[in-house]
Structure 1
Amino acid sequence: MSVVVSAEWLNDRLENNSEKTVVVDTRFDLMDADAGRKTYLEGHIPHAVYLDLNKDLSDKAAKHGGSHPLPDMEMFIAKVGNIGIDHDTTVVVYDQKNDMFAARLWWLLQYAGHEDVHLLDGGFEQWVKAGFSVTTEVPALQAKEFKPVYRENDVADIEEVQEKLQNQSATLIDSRSKERYLGEKEPLYIRAGHIPGAKNFFWKNVLDDKGKWKDDSELEKHFSSLSKDDEIIVSCGSGVSACPNVLALKSAGFRNVKLYPGSFSDWISYEENNVETKEE
């Protein structure tokens, strides 16, 4: 089945098979780190638990790796087990709408080898629009043991990015907006522009004009300028908004797709790395 599921599908799943389902709320605000958890406590999808971008899906204490480095995976796996996830669990992740944070958790779980992880199309907003119930009850979940089987070929570090850009053996994508890609606007970092050689595919363009996920054929058309024979490395500012593009590329039939978790924020932390501001 598709990675992206509807509110109707999730509601049916919770009514008929909730004991094998874990729902995760990942709502977050980059400008207000406490907003997501507060919003969760004010109301969320029944049975949903909350995972925080900064505290659970990143390692903000890491010295290198950009502004949202991957979490310590041993700790992440422990948290995954504690909220009731093992390889027999169906996981459904949602955001406020179709935002970037749910895709970050999707990527982490599939990187750790989970085969049954889905995104709720339209997120919490669509759930409410569909008329389904909302609760403030925080669920008590039974801890399970999740044994990771890491897909090491799904991730690229800065040394690999540098090498493959130099020998042109991979295509690098920048998932940020065009104005940030071109260095016309940069609200987060001290340098503006993009990694030299990167092509711009704004992550929100994997959504249609109503903000819902495009289907596989539409995504294939969206990425038609790229070759499925090439290795694709996906970046953004800090490895978060790149994740919707990773999911979209895989849905469109691309198989050799990697995430550069550090992305632009990691790249510019090395003074010797150049930055480009022209279209590529």
Structure 2
Amino acid sequence: MTQNIINSDQHDIVTADWLHSHLRDPQLVIVDCRFSLADRDLGKQQYADRHIEGAYYLDLNQDLSSPVQSHGGRHPLPDIDELATKLSDIGIVSGETMVVAYDDSRFAFASRLWWLLHYMGHGNVAVLDGGFAAWRSHDYPTTNITPPMRIGKFTPQLQTESVVDIEMVKARKDLPEVVLVDAREGDRYRGEREPIDPIAGHIEGAVNYPWMELTDAQGFVVKDQGDRWQSIANAEEIIVYCGSGVTACVNLLALKLVGIEAKLYAGSWSDWCSWL
């Protein structure tokens, strides 16, 4: 069996220097996850203009989500078989290939792929610290050439315990051993501003840990994450949500970095408020 070049159970974040030093490794696949909620074509345009050499592009709406329905949130989880085929087509082999995801939005979209791969049973995945800007700041190689498809074999092994639906949230959110975490910005959590969903506010009982607090303004991981999560570290169960199940994955990454496992309410507030 091919040896992994890195075990992301211990290294969920990699630096631009690390990625550059492994750029030619045949067991590495790089995925560009840049996206804009305000302009759904912007990420693809940015990728076409310039991306890390050898990187493939996966789109939040088209690849990392399934079509929106009446309920289930604005970014429902993707069809797993379809995503597995796409992962195979860019050379990912289950349990072997090292995957590095990046964006330019403080992990907002790269962490979605990071979480999805873990959910599908592939733990050998990391997010690029500082994103595309960090790569460019070193003048490391970029290109506008899309790499050819590769031969991989991705067989999902779903970790179903890592995701919950609205019924499970209703049943468990008020239990004393459960903590429900809202990952949105404070003003959205408090209901002072709601730019996307039709109803403002948060799920009753949720505590607020804004997703942007994992990184600084340049998109680099802030140290001392353990202190940030100390007050809920001993909870038996942590469920994280955001607006649509995307940026909640940043908090799931943050928790993983300090050794805390948590679950995703995939539909998040956009699902919850669709029933109100």
Give the structure-2-normalised TM-score.
0.93
Tell me which of 226, 231, 234 is aligned to 1:225: 231
1:82 equivalent in alignment to 2:96: no
Other-structure match for 2:265: 260
Q: CA deviation at 1:190?
A: 1.0
Hey, what's the Cα distance between the residues in 2 that align with 1:97 and 1:119? 12
Q: CA deviation at 1:210?
A: 4.7
Other-structure match for 2:56: 49
Other-structure match for 2:67: 60
1:182 equivalent in alignment to 2:190: yes
Aligned residues: 266
Provide the alpha-carbon RMSD of the alignment: 1.3
Letter in 1 for 2:259: G
CA offsets 1:52-85 (integer angstroms, 9 cap, x no match): 0000000124443100110111111111111111
1:103 equivalent in alignment to 2:111: yes
Give the structure-1-normalised TM-score.
0.92
Letter in 1 for 2:230: S
- Is contact 1:206–1:248 with CA below 8 Å preserved after alignment? yes
Residue range with higher mean Cα deviation, 80-89 or 261-270: 80-89
Residue range with higher mean Cα deviation, 88-97 or 102-111: 88-97
Other-structure match for 1:136: 144
1:9 equivalent in alignment to 2:24: no
- Is contact 1:228–1:253 with CA below 8 Å preserved after alignment? no
Hey, what's the Cα distance between the residues in 1 that align with 2:48 and 2:219? 25
Q: CA deviation at 1:225?
A: 1.1
- Is contact 1:97–1:122 with CA below 8 Å preserved after alignment? no
Q: CA deviation at 1:206?
A: 1.1
Q: Secondary structure at the match of 1:106?
A: helix
Residue range with higher mean Cα deviation, 80-89 or 197-206: 80-89
Tell me which of 63, 69, 77 is aligned to 1:70: 77
Structure 1 gaps, min length 5: 272-280
The percent of aligned pairs where both chains have the same amino acid is 44
Other-structure match for 2:7: none
Hey, what's the Cα distance between the residues in 1 that align with 2:211 and 2:42? 23
Structure 1 pair 194–229 and aligned structure 2 pair: CA distance change class (3 A): closer
